[in-house]
Structure 1
């Protein structure tokens, strides 16, 4: 009898941020993101120079938990989620830990996109979602083997998630997604008239 196994899994972690730690006030977190974006002139300048749609604090701020205590609460919850994901991945950390090395705000306006990318020099990356208005973009993940499928036919429309070339995930406010940092992903165009707000982060092995 034939046997078929699934090999080399790509794991995606999805949970409510509040599953670990104290509940996070969504309205306060959104107001904090908007306040920082309004005051961060260096970040605004970077976005303008680099034709970045909307706003990101990625290139300008490294101290969000110091600026607003609610970000410290977010980080505390993320630490627990990342630890749970690392356990699922069967990582042997050799006595070291996975620790936060960057955390930044993304505000994507109508028509804005984040093109496909990976997060080099990190182990686990992810995003927690602050504002997801109707018609806003899902996050799109790409099969890491795609570049090697030169002659493969397309998959059927009803193919299982693990066999698709791209998988779209539409998270809700208050959710967190985690993935290994080598997984290419993108945010297609925001079709909503309202801003899509998220907080992204990287964890390294120290």
Structure 2
């Protein structure tokens, strides 16, 4: 008998590689959460518990050199992940399409979703207080398992970040941000890369 594992789902975990930058980014994210009036208004209008620049700012690497430094590190991590995924890019590299800040207050969450029109998505964790929760990843076969019996393998995987962690996945992989059960803010920077 032969049993093969087909079509694996890859998930990348590493340290960003610059602890000083992570500390600088915490200041930058907190500054934005106070100064970005359009973002604060969007969060209030949409019931986002905390702050995100997702709907308000699309130029962070140009606006702030700390985010430009982050982009340079992200480019390297994403290139390594793209190679592991076996992407044939014709000598080109994936390009940063969007990058946004998340300051999630206690109790805040983000329900299951994917990132359309992107190839690779990810998050860098800046501040992860104890109890802040994990990134919840869903088995991509779940919608097709209509009549399948329960499995010993988990349907969901929880990736627990630390300050300075970087997680990458292919953008079609459904995921969610579980509720922040910590007493402090969970701060992260999320991003998408396109071809």
TM-score under structure 2 normalisation? 0.96
Identify the range of structure 1 (130-139 vs 49-58) with the bigger mean alpha-carbon deviation. 49-58
Q: What is the rounded CA distance, in whole Å, between the counterparts of 1:154 and 1:88 in structure 2? A: 31
Matched positions, count: 195
Q: Which runs of 5+ in 2 are unaligned?
A: none
SS of the equivalent of 1:25 reads helix
SS of the equivalent of 1:128 reads strand
TM-score under structure 1 normalisation? 0.91
Matches within 5 A, 1:1-206: 2-18=1-17, 24-156=20-152, 159=153, 164-205=154-195
Q: What is the rounded CA distance, in whole Å, between the counterparts of 1:14 and 1:60 in structure 2? A: 28
Q: CA deviation at 1:154?
A: 1.8
Q: Is the 8 A contact 2:106 2:184 kept in 1?
A: yes
Q: Is the 8 A contact 1:24 1:73 kept in 2?
A: no
Q: CA deviation at 1:23?
A: 5.2
Q: Is the 8 A contact 2:19 2:164 kept in 1?
A: no
Deviation track 1:39-58 (CA, whole Å, cap 9, x = no partner) reads: 00000111111112211000
**Runs of 4+, deviation exceeding 3 Å:** none
Q: What is the rounded CA distance, in whole Å, between the counterparts of 1:182 and 1:126 in structure 2? A: 12
Q: Which runs of 5+ in 1 are unaligned?
A: none
Q: What is the rounded CA distance, in whole Å, between the counterparts of 2:19 and 2:110 in structure 1? A: 29
Q: What is the rounded CA distance, in whole Å, between the counterparts of 1:183 and 1:30 in structure 2? A: 27
Q: Is the 8 A contact 1:124 1:202 kept in 2?
A: yes
Deviation track 1:127-169 (CA, whole Å, cap 9, x = no partner) reads: 000000001110000011101101112223xx3xxxx210000
Aligned-residue Cα RMSD (Å) equals 1.1
Q: CA deviation at 1:68?
A: 2.1
Q: CA deviation at 1:24?
A: 3.9
Q: Is the 8 A contact 1:129 1:171 kept in 2?
A: yes
Deviation track 1:13-54 (CA, whole Å, cap 9, x = no partner) reads: 111111xxx654332210110001100000011111111221
